[in-house]
Amino acid sequence: MLKKDLSITYYINKLFQSEPFLKSIPDNFFNDIDGKIVKINFKDLPYNVIIKIHDNTFSLIDDEDKFDVELIASPVILGMFIITKGSEQFSSKISINGDIDTANKFNQFISSSEKLRELATHLLGENLSSTLEEKLSGASLSFQNLFQDATKDIVDLLIDDINVIPTKNDINKFLDDVDDLKSRTDQLYKEYKDV
């Protein structure tokens, strides 16, 4: 096991506790979820992120036994949830264990464009955060259109397939026709068998 002062978590927390970072967080920014511990369990990866929110800041912790809520999702789904500002299409693929109220507040926080805009403005400055927001809005719109088009195409395909799939009466008529053809073929065979 690594010494605590050599771990990645130690250096990330050192960054999060630095004075410039703390000054960049607006006052009362984390009030809705203060004092909560959120575990993000990434599907298909052996990594978890445990975030402790306290005193208008957050830190990563190593203790996996104690948490208020656990969110289970693939990194792609979680990223798309954030980019699409909480799209139902992605939120439905995030499993939640524990305190649902905390999970909802955390999800609202990470999908809230106002909260993220405020944090980005403080961290990056007005011009850079505006540019970043424009790019993410364009990407979000593109993803939403892509998924809407794909959903529409799937529905159209299923409707077309329903029209192509034979009914029970069609199948029975086909089987009767096959039986009739077989019996007529057998009769012809008997007639011309000796010829």
Q: Can you give the residue ranges of every domain in the chain?
A: 4-113
pLDDT at 176: 93
pLDDT at 132: 67
pLDDT at 111: 63
Class of the CATH-defined domain 4-113: alpha beta
Alpha-helix residue ranges (DSSP H) falling in 19-167: 19-24, 75-83, 88-91, 100-111, 113-124, 126-164
Averages of pLDDT over each 10 residues, the chain, 195 residues: 60 76 70 81 81 81 78 80 71 80 73 59 65 68 70 72 80 93 90 77
pLDDT at 113: 53
* Neighbour count for residue 107 (Cβ, 10 Å): 19
Residue corresponding to tokens 């955060």: 129
Amino acid present at 15: L
pLDDT at 1: 44
Any idea what DSSP says for residue 134? Answer: H
pLDDT at 133: 65
Q: Which stretch of DSSP H or E encloses residue 176?
A: helix 168-192
Q: What is the pTM of this model?
A: 0.52
* C-beta of residue 50 within 8 angstroms of C-beta of residue 13: no
pLDDT at 182: 93
